[in-house]
Amino acid sequence: MGFIERYFLDPIRYGTGYNIVNTLFYAAVLGLLVLFTVRLFRRLELKLDGRFYSFFIPFVLLGSSLRVLRDMDVITSNLFKTPGIYALIYVLLLGSILLGLLLRRYTGIPYHYLPLAVGWIGLAWALRGVAGLGPKPGPLLVALAIAAGITASAYYILGRAGHSFLDDKVNLGVLSAHMLDASATFLGISSYGLVAQHVFPKAIIGATHPAVMYPLKLAVVLPAIYYLGELEDRTARDIVKAILLTLGLAPGARDILMVMVVA
């Protein structure tokens, strides 16, 4: 119990961030979850197309907004901290999809209507709570401008070099999400006194500068997107892309919302 308290429960209770033990454990759990989701979606013959992303993105933003409400003590349950918030959103998302598929079987209504309604209604409720904290729009505009500029530059440079994988909207969305995350980290740490919580970024930023997140993200995300295009298993490829999008958009949205609140 002492081990579990030290490495898993105390970081959640006291907001001390991640350590090498829980980081590796959560990474292993994520890998198992990917395998489970790939098998399930393959069995359900579920495509990760535009209809999927029309409700998937609101669910991701819902998780980010709820986390901000927990950070600001509007919500008090530790379930809304990491990793609980990820588990909560995953269960809510998957449950909505399964119920939507069941509804389609008996009524013919497209399956995505139900998760679409749940995702957007939940997001609207959460953002109403965040709005009550008085967020200022300036940091968001700066972060979006920087993220858009770097993403556009990468798109242009890669296109000129003969690489067209960013023509895919999902690939472009993944890169944009991670540039937003990098921008939120840069602004939060350099201008508003916030600190990184993840083990590896915290160590790298501590040894260099918050701006290092931009080349670091580009060096990891761009090769990942490129080589995912080589996968023949479409379901596995699409799910990993969705997870990559989540790993950029979820913390990026949460961080920029926090910056907007404390600015």
Tokens representing 97 are 């999809």
Provide the angle, in degrees to the nearest 10, between the axes of the packed helices 138-160 and 213-228: 50
- Which residue matches tokens 């967020």? 135
Cα angle, residue 180 at apex, residues 51 and 85 outer, rounded to 5°: 65
- Is 0.85 topped by the overall pTM? yes
Residue 66 corresponds to which amino acid? L
Of the candidates 119, 228, 120, the one whose C-alpha atom is nearest the C-alpha of residue 175 is 228
The one-digit pLDDT tens for each residue of the chain (263 residues) are 678 788 777 777 777 777 888 888 988 998 999 999 999 999 999 999 999 999 999 999 999 999 999 999 999 998 898 889 999 999 999 999 999 999 999 999 999 999 999 999 999 999 999 999 999 999 999 999 999 999 999 999 999 999 999 999 999 999 999 999 999 999 999 988 888 777 778 788 888 999 999 999 999 999 999 999 988 899 999 999 999 999 999 999 999 999 999 98
**Confidence (pLDDT) at 199:** 72
CA 111 – CA 226 distance, rounded (Å): 31
71 within 8 A of 188, measured Cβ to Cβ? no
**Confidence (pLDDT) at 14:** 75
CA 156 – CA 4 distance, rounded (Å): 48
CA 213 – CA 205 distance, rounded (Å): 8
CA 18 – CA 15 distance, rounded (Å): 9
